Each structure stands twice: as structure tokens, then as C-alpha cells.
């Protein structure tokens, strides 16, 4: 069970986040990063360069954050803006030791800790040592408007 029950966390006055709807090239779990490949959402990976989207929970079908969008279904990807908060997935074994930790795309659309040579897509808004045995949602703030990846400094 996820620690957070929504992907878009606010602010409350932003009640209509900007989204893109596309077919899913694979099953997509809410909170994972995606890119557009061949006109469909595909999972972002460690070598991703370019614009990323955050897969939204399927609230239209009253599904939760642990319910995948099926392959070839229309999925919702959130546009990431740095004045908003989101919940995104980190892999098991990732230790976010401080608020403001730079995060980069990792394997299977999850986030990883960025090094100085990585591309930064977000910063942590909470401390969490994920030793739960599964990927978990953590609160993040995107690194830049519309989440175009930028080099870590």
C-alpha cells in the first residue's frame, strides 16, 4: 500500500493541473515518470534526456495510486511545473536523506538520487529511506517549469 494516496498534491487553488492524454505503450503505474515515444507514453529510464511527464492516478475510474493503467489504454500524464507538488516513485533501497535532494530518472520510470553528472528532474520535499521492499511515493517539487531536464550543479 502506498504512503500517499494522490499524485497531484497541490496547491489547492490549482485544481485543474495541465495534462496530456496518450495511449500507454506498456502498463504504467501512477507516480512513475514517462516520456513520449512513437506517440505513446513509455517509461522514462536512466538515460532519459528531454521532457518527462508524471503518470496520474486514474481518478476518473476511481482507481488508486497502486492501480496500473493497462497497456494500450489512454493514460494521463501530468505536466510538471515547479510551483506545484507531486508524489513520484522511488525504487526500493533509495535513501533520500535530506529535503532538497536532487533526483534524476532511474530505471522503470522511478526516481534516483542524482550525482553531479546526472540530469535533475526534481527535488525531494521530504526525507524517506525506502527500505520497505517495494517502490514508494515521495513528495517532490519539479526542478524547472514544464520539467525540462537540467544538468545538476
What single string gives the DSSP state of each residue in 111-149?
EEE--TTSEE-EEESS-EE--SSS-EEEEEEESSGGGB-
Please indicate, yes or no, if residue 1 is contained in any of the structural domains.
no
Q: What is the pLDDT of residue 2?
A: 60
Q: What is the pLDDT of residue 89?
A: 97
In this predicted structure, what is the pLDDT of residue 3? 72
Tell me if 18 is assigned to some domain: yes
Domain-embedded: residue 151 = no
Mean pLDDT of the chain: 90
pTM: 0.89
Which residue range forms the structural domain that includes residue 62? 8-144
pLDDT at position 151 is: 45
The verdict on residue 20 lying in a domain is yes
User: Which residues of the chain, if any, have pLDDT below 70?
Assistant: 1-2, 14-16, 145-153
Quick check: is 150 in a domain? no
19 inside domain: yes
Amino acid at each position: 500500500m502506498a504512503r500517499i494516496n494522490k499524485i497531484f498534491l497541490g496547491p489547492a487553488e490549482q485544481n485543474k493541473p495541465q495534462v496530456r492524454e496518450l495511449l500507454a505503450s506498456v502498463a504504467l503505474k501512477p507516480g512513475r515518470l514517462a516520456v513520449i515515444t512513437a506517440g505513446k507514453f513509455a517509461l522514462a529510464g536512466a538515460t532519459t534526456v528531454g521532457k518527462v511527464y508524471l503518470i496520474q492516478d486514474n481518478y476518473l475510474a476511481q482507481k488508486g495510486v497502486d492501480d496500473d493503467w493497462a497497456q494500450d489504454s489512454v493514460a494521463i500524464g501530468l505536466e510538471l511545473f515547479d510551483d506545484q507538488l507531486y508524489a513520484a516513485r522511488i525504487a526500493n533501497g533509495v535513501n533520500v536523506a535530506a529535503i532538497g535532494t536532487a533526483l534524476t530518472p532511474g530505471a522503470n520510470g522511478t526516481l534516483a538520487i542524482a550525482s553531479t553528472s546526472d540530469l535533475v528532474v526534481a527535488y525531494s520535499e521530504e526525507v524517506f529511506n525506502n527500505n520497505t521492499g517495494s517502490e514508494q511515493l515521495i513528495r517532490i517539487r519539479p526542478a524547472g517549469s514544464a520539467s525540462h531536464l537540467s544538468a545538476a550543479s
